Structure 1
């Protein structure tokens, strides 16, 4: 008997795993085809770029959505069900956290409620996520000043992980990049640090509390740090007062999720490998993660303050903290890769070669197939290698190792390219 059939608990997810693996294979072939056409894609004239973007997005996002959710009538899955429940609470004009639960920032459930006014289905939220991804991709595409923009556009759209997280998962993680990108536009145009603070404050209210992790280093780097802080306070103080008045401290509930150990991260990999000597679960690990994230960001902020342009540093800061967060935070999940794949492709893929592309495709493969395996076998935390007593558990643990090793590889690439990439492209 195959070791993959030892437990009945895994029987229900093989089809999902096979589907996602097939997507990875098919889209990886597409990526290699695009790689061979880099020169031709770079020669597309500027006058046709808007049409090129529109056709690419329709073919690689809108049509798949229509086929999967309208023609084949598949149901929305993953976190979208949670988004839908929160959105229904928002539609009833309930107050967030007090009248209905959400794991996200206070504005988020009200935004996800908007498409339900037109189409009362969780599928409408998936469509909203796809369209928002398209808007973010368009502004990233417009922001990037290089002839390789068309190549990176198709490369991103053909990557398996963004496709799965957007179309099949309806994930929202990329929204954080939207507010960072908006801030980059402002800092590149006139270095208005007050407006930068306002935008980042609005991002905190709209996306996830995780966005706060990028702020201390940006404050240290800022040419006018107190203007930046003022922008944050203008948004933050009235919002906190309003939230506290209506829900007391319930608005802190999303932060509590940091206490839940998940996979993959450095702790989930080392814990069974060391037979439990390296812990997983205690709150002290959250502080290790928080302190190391801030130390890393502040180190580069001090080091780069006199040599880097603000908007260029912000892109680098966003990438390095996002990648390190996935490695060091014990509550991290594979879908967090959706946060940084778009800016990584556009801003740190200039040194694109076959080795870089292979690493990128492997990371995409592992972050796509790890979640369905983990969920399918009951979301276990392995405490020793003896816990790996079935084929799927072994496979899941291998994918955890793969994700963490590849994240370290990309962390090295980002830090190395931070010095060598031409600032004018950003």
Structure 2
């Protein structure tokens, strides 16, 4: 099927999902009652309707080939299944264990479609655990879980493209739940979960660490636990493959969109010429802000218990990554979309619903348009004379504005709610 046809179909699906979201939001009483009486039926029924049935229709009935990163994931899974050593025998931009984890479904069904289904199942397990956590706090938790299933970004990037970034929230959720159960002496558990995550998913999860160390009571203890696991793992990798294990870090040098750099580049290039092949400095500057802003938020909220602020700090870290990192791309929104919906979005407020829908539409539309028109780099304002470039550039700006709105609301939730003077 031609890619432009796929895009038009995605737009129609987005419209249908958006209508479903608006209907769901309009029925708070109904969902509150279902949450009390039949939450399992509604949750797993939604899973069947919005994940399993579409997966069957797309990959078994229409027999579409998986797109996005799935072909690369399948390559890694095949190599891992065959006994290959990560980074040495096959390329990988993920943590060392990731390829071996995604090879599990390939052992059952040697097909790239199995990895997509695996991603869907992992997403649903994370959503179920999120729902179980929030239903103790809100009678809207089931409603939010149902809304999540219909979010266009989650539908497209996980069900269709098989993205794994939602695993980040899964790891943060495990840490949060641990601190809810164990309100003191939690540093060992946090260190174990954090170290396991860094070995399992992506090195970018490290962005959360500085802010987290500000709010935990015994940061050195947590770091020592992480080191006890991480240093032997790094030593083993170096012994086996030298510095090839740095492959995931080198991947971050590619310039992507949308982010603050990509939308301000025409202005920046008026003063400095950017060499895309030597963009390390740009990413280091972005990294500085990606770390500093969440650390500042954590410092302002340091009087609160870690279990009160951990979800907000997680959101702040990864929305800052998308704002400030020049290598960040739209698909990364999946990392914190679920957390934003449950933690930040108030579906009783029109502006919250509008931003949520706008973010989802933009996340689906902007990357396609950017690639379709040739992945332009706006090195001057003169390039915006092209109508297609101007349209895509506006989409980028709107996307970044949505990120900034989320960051502002997260700051309010973490800092100002309990400390109005911080405003």
TM-score range, shorter chain: over 0.9
User: Which position in structure 2 is the counterpart of 1:336?
Assistant: 332
What is residue 56 of structure 2 aligned with on the other side?
66
Q: Equivalences for 1:362-377 in 2 at 5 Å?
A: 362-377=358-373
Residue 379 of structure 1: how far off its partner (Å): 2.2
1:396/1:13 Cα in 2 relative to 1: closer, same or farther (>3 Å)? farther
Q: Is it true that 1:159 corresponds to 2:151 in the alignment?
A: yes
1:232 is aligned, of 190, 207, 226, to: 226
Cα distance, 1:300 vs structure 2 = 2.1
1:274 and 1:227, CA in 2 relative to 1: closer, same or farther beyond 3 A? closer
Alpha carbons of 1:320 and 1:313: their partners in 2 closer, same or farther (altered >3 Å)?
A: same
Residue in 2 aligned with 1:194?
188
Change (3 A) 1:266 1:45: closer
Equivalent in 82, 86, 107 of residue 96 of structure 1: 86
CA offsets per residue over residues 15-59 of structure 1, 9 Å max, x none? 232122222222111111111112221122435222221111111
Range 11-20 or range 81-90, more displaced: 11-20
**1:73-97 deviation per Cα after TM superposition (whole angstroms, max 9, x unaligned):** 1110010011011111101111000
8 Å Cα contact 1:89/1:100 also seen in 2: yes
Select 2:133's aligned residue among 111, 124, 143.
143
Residue 172 of structure 1 and its aligned partner are, at CA, apart by 0.4
**Is 2:403 the counterpart of 1:407?**
yes
Distance 2:34 2:3 in 1: 43
How far, CA to CA, are the matches of 2:268 and 2:92 in structure 1? 36
Count of aligned residue pairs for this structure pair: 412
1:296 alignment counterpart: 293
- The question of whether the paired residues in 1 share the 8 Å contact of 2:297 and 2:411 is answered with no
Structure 1, unaligned runs of 5 or more: 1-10
Deviations 1:276-326 (A, max 9, x none): 4366543222121111122112222222121x2212211111001111110
Relative CO higher for 1 or 2, CA cutoff 8 Å, sep ≥ 6? 1
Distance across 1 between alignment mates of 2:11 and 2:333: 17
1:347 to 343, 349, 352: 343
RMSD: 1.9
Contact 1:13 1:373 in 2 (8 A): no
Residue 36 in 1 paired to residue 26 in 2?
A: yes
1:111 and 2:101 matched: yes
Determine if contact 1:348/1:421 at 8 Å carries over to the other structure: no
| Cα contact 2:347–2:353 (8 A) shared by 1 | no
Give the structure 2 partner of residue 361 of structure 1: 357
1:184 corresponding residue in structure 2: 176
Q: Distance in 2 between matches of 1:212 and 1:132?
A: 21
Structure 2 unaligned segments of length 5 or more: list them.
419-423
Alpha carbons 2:80, 2:86 under 8 Å: kept: yes
Structure 1 residues 41 and 420: CA distance shift in structure 2, 3 A: farther
For 1:108 and 1:136, locate their aligned partners in 2 and report how far apart those are by CA, in whole Å. Answer: 17
* C-alpha separation in 1, matches of 2:82 and 2:27: 51
CA deviation vs aligned residue, 1:141-193 (integer Å, no higher than 9, x gap) = 00112111011111111111110011111000111111110000111111311
Length-normalised TM-score, structure 1: 0.92
Pairwise mapping of residues 233-272 of structure 1 onto structure 2 (< 5 A)?
A: 233-272=227-266
**What is the rounded CA distance, in whole Å, between the counterparts of 1:296 and 1:154 in structure 2?**
32
1:397 aligns with 2:389: no
Hey, what's the Cα distance between the residues in 2 that align with 1:124 and 1:386? 46
Regions of 4+ moved over 3 Å: 273-281, 388-392, 419-422
SS across alignment from 1:99: coil
Conserved? CA contact 2:290–2:325, under 8 Å: no
Cα deviation 1:244-267 (Å, max 9, x = unaligned):
111111111111122111111111
Match of 1:418 in 2: 414
